């Protein structure tokens, strides 16, 4: 299902009522309330629910996940994320994607949502967020550049940036007490350890979006669970909602 974001809740509820397994594109919902209602409908129907959060499966992000699983970071203290590009800068003005109600807080629904989900996957649930969204170049009603400060439930901090009018940028960096590592492209990660030269790790490209769909298909056939449980889907949607509310309130802290 890849449809206007504001339609997701009613469509998920209808699909659940029909007893069909569901793969929903991101963002799953634009508010915590809608996300919870949609997930409740899926639970009542006993269907598999999956979301298109596939950036966490990129080869470079798997390097970071493997470091975490091995305990290489130690205590994770901070996360930095930036996903920006100008691919939508010349999108037709009458496209649903450019409507204020569909693309709130600049590039958050198209780009920043991926950073939020990678943060959830690597660091854990988010507690509160302070965000600003500004119209710098495109003069969009909901802005083209958004930045956010994040506090995680475990005490770590994070920063997020996304802009819709700059050459392509992708970076997720995880700072731990023992080392820090960054994903700088789909396939390249760089690991930094005290007293050593940075270690550049290049992994073969793969179809990480396809693997996400494979996980969904296997879960639908009863061959395992989709990697992101409903609680994780809700957490990412709730964090997006907090970004929207904070940006609307000129940066006030909002609970996730």
Q: Determine the straight-line distance between the first and last CA of the chain, rounded to whole angstroms.
A: 25
The predicted model gives 134-154 an average pLDDT of 93
The predicted model gives 96-108 an average pLDDT of 82
- Phi, psi (degrees; rounded to nearest 5) at 172: -125, 125
**Nearest CA to 158 among 92, 76, 97?**
76
Least confident of 44-58, 81-95, 203-217: 81-95
The predicted model gives 204-210 an average pLDDT of 96
pLDDT digits (tens, 9 = 90+) for 64-101: 999 999 999 999 999 999 999 998 777 776 777 777 77
Question: Would you give the distance in Å from CA 91 to the centre of its chain?
Answer: 22
Mean pLDDT of the chain: 95
pLDDT at 57 over 60: yes
**Nearest CA to 108 among 162, 28, 168, 52?**
162
pLDDT at 145: 96
Q: What domains are defined for the chain?
A: 5-53+210-229 (3.40.50.720), 55-204+234-255 (3.30.360.10)
The residues that bridge with 237 in the sheet, in sequence order, are none
Reading the block at residue 213, the tokens are: 């769909």
Confidence at 58, pLDDT banded by 50, 70, 90: very high
Reading the block at residue 138, the tokens are: 């495109």
CB 226, CB 50: distance < 8 Å: yes
Confidence at 1, pLDDT banded by 50, 70, 90: low
For residue 254, the surrounding DSSP H or E stretch is strand 254-255
Reading the block at residue 46, the tokens are: 């006993």
Strand 76-84 relative to strand 157-163, pairing = parallel
pLDDT at 142: 84
Percent of the chain with pLDDT over 70: 99
Confidence at 61, pLDDT banded by 50, 70, 90: very high
pLDDT digits (tens, 9 = 90+) for 109-120: 999 999 999 999
Reading the block at residue 123, the tokens are: 């660091």
The model's pTM? 0.95
CA distance 6 to 81: 26
pLDDT at 20 over 80: yes
Confidence at 226, pLDDT banded by 50, 70, 90: very high
């Amino acid at each position: 299902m890849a449809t206007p974001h504001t339609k997701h809740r009613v469509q998920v509820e209808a699909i659940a009522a029909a007893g069909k397994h569901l793969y929903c594109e991101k963002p799953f919902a634009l508010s915590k309330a809608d996300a919870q209602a949609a997930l409740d409908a899926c639970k009542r129907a006993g269907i598999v629910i999956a979301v298109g959060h596939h950036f966490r499966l990129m080869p470079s992000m798997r390097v970071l996940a493997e470091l975490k699983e091995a305990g290489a970071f130690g205590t994770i203290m901070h996360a930095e994320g930036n996903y920006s590009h100008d691919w939508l800068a010349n999108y037709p003005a009458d496209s649903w994607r450019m409507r204020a109600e569909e693309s709130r807080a600049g590039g958050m629904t198209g780009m920043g949502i991926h950073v939020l989900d990678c943060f959830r996957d690597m660091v854990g649930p988010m507690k509160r967020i302070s965000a600003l969204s500004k119209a710098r170049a495109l003069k969009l009603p909901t802005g083209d550049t958004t930045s956010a400060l994040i506090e995680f439930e475990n005490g770590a901090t994070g920063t997020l940036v996304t802009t819709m009018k700059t050459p392509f940028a992708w970076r997720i960096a995880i700072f731990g007490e023992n080392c820090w590592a960054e994903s700088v492209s789909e396939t390249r990660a760089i690991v930094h350890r005290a007293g050593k030269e940075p270690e550049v790790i290049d992994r073969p490209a793969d179809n990480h979006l396809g693997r996400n769909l494979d996980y969904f298909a296997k879960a639908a056939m009863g061959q395992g669970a989709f990697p992101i449980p409903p609680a994780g889907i809700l957490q990412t949607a709730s964090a997006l909602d907090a970004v929207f509310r904070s940006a609307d309130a000129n940066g006030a802290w909002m609970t996730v």
